[in-house]
């Protein structure tokens, strides 16, 4: 059984994405394609983490546009609002309310050790927002309020899910209840757990990288995709026949991982096809595979974008269903804490 195969039955799935600009290939291959597949396994709750996006200032009209754009991108990628509960986090007040309750459980030391906090606050901790520091507690609330069995995310979110487990266990112990289910991070499972920058195989592909050449965006046209792959950093050696041959070759490993996830194959299968060949042969095939994956999503996105009323209707229906699902857990948490 692969290491990333769910070890407990999938009974309920929860995950979120920040609505900060475009969806990129890292989000898609690291998380969203997995979400799409899980829709048929169990009830799924997927949300746009607009409250999380408050950790950085963004003008109101930009945030509003980003939320709709991300909702459209998720639906275009295959999230079906009739199957999954798709909603905006701030439309379900139980997330923020439970976050406050869990602030009594989470420890300063735990949050200070979070890599994201250390990276994003950098040397200016005094100037960082409280929301940035408290971000993982809100993420714990997002998850625990639905009592899911699984949280499909990319590798970069693993530490936050582990913190969620710690918060769940401490709350249950402190209050002597069996309320929160420590969730399993579900990383990989046929998707690329960690998609790296096309310019530097040791840095994560991310929307905050200043170089647009480092990532492929959902809205990039076919020529842009082909050009970004053509210019992607590689090394001069041919591709190996075995996975170990990618050790110490981060850029080669990244492109093989992207090809595997984009074509729903294992990395070993990809190497079987390309062993002994150089990147001159590999890159055009990779570009074609990405265009085949992204072009239909992009054209659906363009269509969905033009109907804001339909998008808002999906989100409002999702929020109603999410509020109903979250209410009993919030009530039980209040009761466990002695709130009247």
Task: Please pick, from the candidates 26, 43, 81, 188, the single residue that binds ligand TYM as defined by CB under 6 A.
Answer: 26
Within 51-70, the residues that bind ligand TYM by CB under 6 A are 52
Q: Does 254 bind ligand TYM (CB under 6 A)?
A: no
Q: Choose the stretch contacting ligand TYM; rule: CB under 6 A; options: 26-34, 37-45, 230-238, 278-286.
A: 26-34
Q: Does 205 bind ligand TYM (CB under 6 A)?
A: yes
Q: Does 92 bind ligand TYM (CB under 6 A)?
A: no
Cβ atoms of 160 and 198 closer than 8 Å: no
Q: Choose the stretch contacting ligand TYM; rule: CB under 6 A; options: 149-157, 255-263, 291-299, 311-319.
A: 149-157
207 carries an active-site annotation: yes
283 carries an active-site annotation: no
Say how far apart CA 121 and CA 151 lie, in whole Å.
26
Q: Does 204 bind ligand TYM (CB under 6 A)?
A: yes
Task: Please pick, from the candidates 69, 142, 220, 251, the single residue that binds ligand TYM as defined by CB under 6 A.
Answer: 142
Q: Does 214 bind ligand TYM (CB under 6 A)?
A: no
Cβ atoms of 150 and 184 closer than 8 Å: yes
Beta bridge partners of 87: 47
Say how far apart CA 198 and CA 203 lie, in whole Å.
9
DSSP 218-283: TT--HHHHHHHHHTS---SSPPPSSGGGGTT-HHHHHHHHHHHHHTT--HHHHHHHHTT--HHHHH
**Least distance to ligand TYM, CB of residue 31, Å:** 4
DSSP 124-162: -GGGS-HHHHHHHHHHHHHHHTT--SEEE--GGGHHHHH
Give whichever of 54 and 238 is closer to ligand TYM, judged by the CB atom: 54
Q: Choose the stretch contacting ligand TYM; rule: CB under 6 A; options: 100-108, 135-143, 224-232, 320-328.
A: 135-143
Within 180-199, the residues that bind ligand TYM by CB under 6 A are 194-195
Among residues 120, 158, 170, 334, the one annotated as catalytic is 120
Q: How many CA atoms lie within 13 A of 103 on its CB side?
A: 13
What lies within 8 Å, CB to CB, of 68 at 6+ separation is 305, 308, 311, 312
Q: Which residues bind ligand TYM (CB under 6 A)?
A: 14-18, 26-27, 30-31, 49, 52, 139, 142-143, 151, 153-154, 156-157, 194-195, 204-206
Q: What positions carry a catalytic annotation?
A: 120, 204, 207
């Amino acid at each position: 059984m692969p290491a990333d195969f769910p070890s407990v039955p999938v009974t309920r799935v929860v995950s979120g994405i920040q609505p900060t600009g475009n969806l990129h290939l890292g989000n898609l291959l690291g998380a969203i394609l997995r979400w799409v597949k899980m829709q048929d396994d169990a009830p799924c709750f997927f949300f746009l983490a607009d409250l999380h996006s408050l950790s950085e200032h963004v003008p109101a009209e930009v945030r509003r546009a980003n939320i709709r754009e991300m909702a459209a991108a998720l639906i275009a990628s295959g999230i079906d609002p009739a199957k999954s509960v798709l909603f905006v986090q701030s439309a379900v007040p139980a997330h923020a309310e439970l976050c406050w309750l869990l602030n009594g459980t989470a420890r300063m030391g735990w949050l200070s050790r979070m890599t994201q906090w250390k990276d994003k606050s950098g040397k200016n901790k005094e100037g960082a927002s409280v929301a940035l520091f408290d971000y993982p507690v809100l993420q714990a609330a997002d998850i625990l309020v639905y009592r899911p069995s699984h949280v499909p995310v990319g590798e970069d979110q693993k530490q936050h899910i582990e913190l969620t487990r710690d918060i769940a266990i401490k709350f249950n112990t402190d209050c002597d209840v069996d309320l929160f289910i420590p969730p399993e991070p579900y990383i990989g499972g046929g998707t690329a757990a960690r998609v790296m920058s096309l310019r530097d195989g040791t840095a994560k592909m991310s929307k905050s990288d200043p170089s647009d050449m480092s990532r492929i965006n959902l809205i990039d046209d076919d020529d842009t995709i082909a050009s970004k792959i053509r210019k992607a950093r590689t090394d001069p050696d041919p591709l190996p026949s075995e996975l170990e041959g990618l050790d110490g070759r981060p850029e080669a490993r990244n492109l093989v991982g992207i090809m595997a996830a984009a074509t729903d194959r294992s990395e070993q299968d990809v190497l079987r096809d390309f062993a002994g060949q150089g990147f001159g042969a590999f890159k055009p095939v990779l570009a074609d595979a990405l265009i085949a994956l992204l072009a239909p999503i992009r054209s659906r996105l363009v269509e969905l974008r033009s109907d804001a009323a339909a998008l808002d209707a999906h989100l409002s229906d999702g929020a109603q269903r999410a509020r109903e699902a979250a209410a009993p857990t919030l009530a039980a948490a209040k009761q466990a804490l002695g709130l009247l």
